[in-house]
Amino acid sequence: MTGIGHLSSAFLLKSKFKETPIWILLIGAEVVELLWVLLNLNPFGFSPALEFMKIEIPFLYIGDMKLLSQQYSHSLFGGVAIGIVFFFLLKFFEKNWTLNYLPIALIVSGHWCLDFLVHDHDLQIFPLTGSMKVGPLYSFDLAAPELGISATIPLLGFSIQACFSLLCVYVFLRNFRFTNPGRKKVFLIGIVVLNLFALPIFIKGCMTFLIKSENWMAFMVLADMVFSGVLLFYLSKTSISNTA
């Protein structure tokens, strides 16, 4: 999934764990992706890189990105470890917070679960080189069963992401209201625009001019998650719980 798909899960969790600040949930939804970007850019010069991908040139659509190694950021138990570290970092910098670990564990580990719906056969259970990889529940390409939904039917992958995003927002709006009714409309427009903003990478040829290398892809993923996360935080700022 792209940024808006993962970030939307923050609103689903916020509806259940109302005391957890939305900014923590937004960061938690993408903290494994932040690690993925860091490891793929490899600023520390590890040889070989700890994680790496390969994109086809010319880049046509999301199916042309092959995640060859992502055992630390996108393994199931790697996500659990990242969630624990993220939780204790939050506690370290603000010792007075009475943070609940459960929503942080769910939002961080949920990243892997959402990717499992649409990814290729490239997700590991354990953060170990050579560990078994798991993949799509069902493949629409019998000749290449390792390919997931986003690679075989990209618009279906986009639709799953958009539907999940809207479901999260629906649940959120059932539990929260905006102090200014106009802000609710702006929030909804923002959600729709961000989902449409993610559409080009699912349509062949729309981003060929923009993505020229693996580093460019990593920077694009980073820009997407930061822009979307900041905008979602700003748009949801005036919402208050219906039980307040």
Q: What is the pTM of this model?
A: 0.95
**Which segments of the chain have a pLDDT < 50?**
none
- pLDDT score recorded for residue 244: 58
- The answer to whether the beta carbons of residues 6 and 29 sit under 8 Å apart is yes
Tokens linked to 222: 């980073």
Beta carbons within 10 angstroms of residue 142's beta carbon: 6
- pLDDT score recorded for residue 12: 97
Q: What tens digit of pLDDT does each residue of 137-192 get?
A: 888 998 999 999 999 999 999 999 999 999 999 999 999 999 888 999 999 999 99
CA distance 165 to 163: 5
